[in-house]
Structure 1
Amino acid sequence: MFAPSLHKIFNQKTQKLTVYQLGNPALSEIAKPISDVSDREIQQLIDEMLITLKESKGVGLAAPQVGRSLQLIIIASHPNERYPNAPQMEPTAMINPKIISYSGQTEKGWEGCLSVPMIRGLVPRDRQIEVEYTDRQGDRQVSQLTDFVARIFQHEYDHLEGKVFLDRVENTLDLATEAEYQKLWQ
């Protein structure tokens, strides 16, 4: 599972990666599929992304955010200071992910991004999606994702398409600084 793996990763002194910020051209590229999941460099990238995500207090991370134009995302929902009501789940690496179907029922929700610091936006997303991906062991997985976890997936999937959440905000009135967002929730 991921818990022993994460402990092992920390013991190996895996490095935290630099998260690219809004304006970096790498965030606008369409990510390329990964052909060999077992490749040592891909496995190391997964480990480094797990560390980066944990140390950044994020709930999701896409390879383009760390300068790698590859179809790889990590979903790691957990309650934290940025998302206190997030559900708890094991960090999951998703390689070559695809959205198979959308529920058609959308809801606006607040999103932030490690690549767009200090800004939050109300973004409409489908409440339920069915996804398929390859896990880090090379096995094909199909999952139904709902609510916050579905939102994380769609947010990270956008990064693979060269988009950030700001591209989905419908109105500038749906934007807030992190400080104003925090006042709304206190």
Structure 2
Amino acid sequence: MDWQAKHDRDAFKELWLLFDNDQGRFPLYPGDAVWIEYAYTVSDTKWGRWFQRTVRLPTEHLEVTLAFPAALDPVVWGTETSMTAEASPLPSAPARSEENAMRLFTWSTTRPALHARYRLEWRFRARPATGRESQGVQVSAVRPSEQMRNLGVVQQGAPLLTEAARRFDLPSEREAAERAVDALFASMERIARVHTFAKGMGIAAPQIGIGRAAAVVQPAEQGAGTIVLLNPRVTDIFDDTDEQYEGCLSFFDVRGMVPRPLRITVETTTIGGVTLTTVYERGLARLIAHEIDHLDGLLYLSRMRPGVEPIPVEEYRQTGRTWAYEQ
């Protein structure tokens, strides 16, 4: 069975197992079943903090085992997510065992739902100091843009950010659209664990290396569901505008004052190929417009008034606050 590195970056690696090899293809047909077992090893400089498995085919049994040096005193926990539900704790805790100076954590589930994502995370309570730390070298704080790069966000200067994303032909490209949305949800989850977004947040497919017309937006309101945008386009812009500071994950060291309409009408396509029209207002309109710009190959810098420059994030004084609007 061959495999393919779909994403291969320092901070994020995604491997696909393929139903083929150099002798030909061997697809699964209705009624067929197969048991797949695979393993891989990473070095102590590359093992990261999480492992995620997405269910893309009907599955009877899924089992994951993580093995770490026991001397690091690892602890492991996990969450379950889907395209329609927020992250929740795994229904059962990973089982722990010791074997040859290794600590093993095994978790399994029966008949997982299609497109469910199971994420196992860990930390080391006795991790030794790095070589630089042991030598007394001061390790400087990571810049916001570098932090986002480490989380797999494509940074300013990459050609993909200046190109119009390719639209999906739905429903015929349903599977490709689902994969893109799945990757966006996973990226949003990673980013939300290291940064709080009081104004809400969004991320577009080109920002994670996928040149397709998909984006997801998480509104600022507590409990509001995540908005999925497939093939979005603005069909109407209302006259009233305002200017607010925006940030962008692809150059997160600065904030820019950007004029935006207070109300927009947006047309999107569902996975099933149905066209929907929605009106967004104020902060949510700003978030949605920002992500649609990404899909059109635009950064908010092109929306700023002539002569206005972004400010360093250190000078920004609205972190942790929502955008302000007149009542």
Category of TM-score, reference length = shorter chain: 0.7 to 0.9
Q: How does 1:79-90 map to 2 (within 5 A)?
A: 87-88=221-222, 89-90=224-225
Alignment-derived partner of residue 178 in structure 1: 313
TM (normalized to structure 2)? Answer: 0.49
Alignment-derived partner of residue 4 in structure 1: 85
Alignment-derived partner of residue 282 in structure 2: 147
- Classify 1:114/1:92 alpha carbon distance in 2 versus 1 (closer, same or farther; 3 Å): same
Question: Which 10-residue stretch deviates more, 123-132 or 39-48?
Answer: 39-48
Gaps of 5+ in 2: 1-81, 89-114, 121-149, 322-327
CA separation in 1, counterparts of 2:186 and 2:284?
20
Q: Which structure features the higher share of helix residues?
A: 1
Task: Judge conservation of contact 2:181–2:228 (CA < 8 Å) in 1.
Answer: yes
The structural deviation recorded for 1:168 is 1.2
- Classify 1:184/1:41 alpha carbon distance in 2 versus 1 (closer, same or farther; 3 Å): closer
The structural deviation recorded for 1:156 is 0.6
Q: Please give the per-residue CA displacement for 1:73-127, whole angstroms capped at 9, x wherever unaligned.
A: 111123xxxxxxxx34211111111111011111001100111111100100000
Structure 2 residue corresponding to 1:34, chosen from 138, 159, 168: 168
CA separation in 1, counterparts of 2:116 and 2:183?
8
Structure 2 residue corresponding to 1:69, chosen from 198, 207, 211: 211
Give the match's secondary structure for 1:19: coil
Question: Which 10-residue stretch deviates more, 105-114 or 176-185?
Answer: 176-185
CA separation in 2, counterparts of 1:61 and 1:168?
18
> Larger Cα Rg: Structure 1 or Structure 2?
2
Alignment-derived partner of residue 155 in structure 2: 21
- Classify 1:41/1:164 alpha carbon distance in 2 versus 1 (closer, same or farther; 3 Å): same
- Classify 1:183/1:29 alpha carbon distance in 2 versus 1 (closer, same or farther; 3 Å): closer
Task: Judge conservation of contact 1:2–1:91 (CA < 8 Å) in 2.
Answer: no
Q: Which structure features the higher share of strand residues?
A: 2
Alignment-derived partner of residue 55 in structure 1: 190
CA separation in 1, counterparts of 2:282 and 2:118?
34
Q: Between the two proteins, what is the percent identity of the paired residues? A: 26
RMSD after superposition: 2.6
Structure 1 residue corresponding to 2:247, chosen from 94, 109, 112: 112
CA separation in 2, counterparts of 1:177 and 1:157?
24
The structural deviation recorded for 1:67 is 1.4
Task: Judge conservation of contact 2:290–2:300 (CA < 8 Å) in 1.
Answer: yes
Higher relative contact order (CA closer than 8 Å, sequence separation 6+): 1
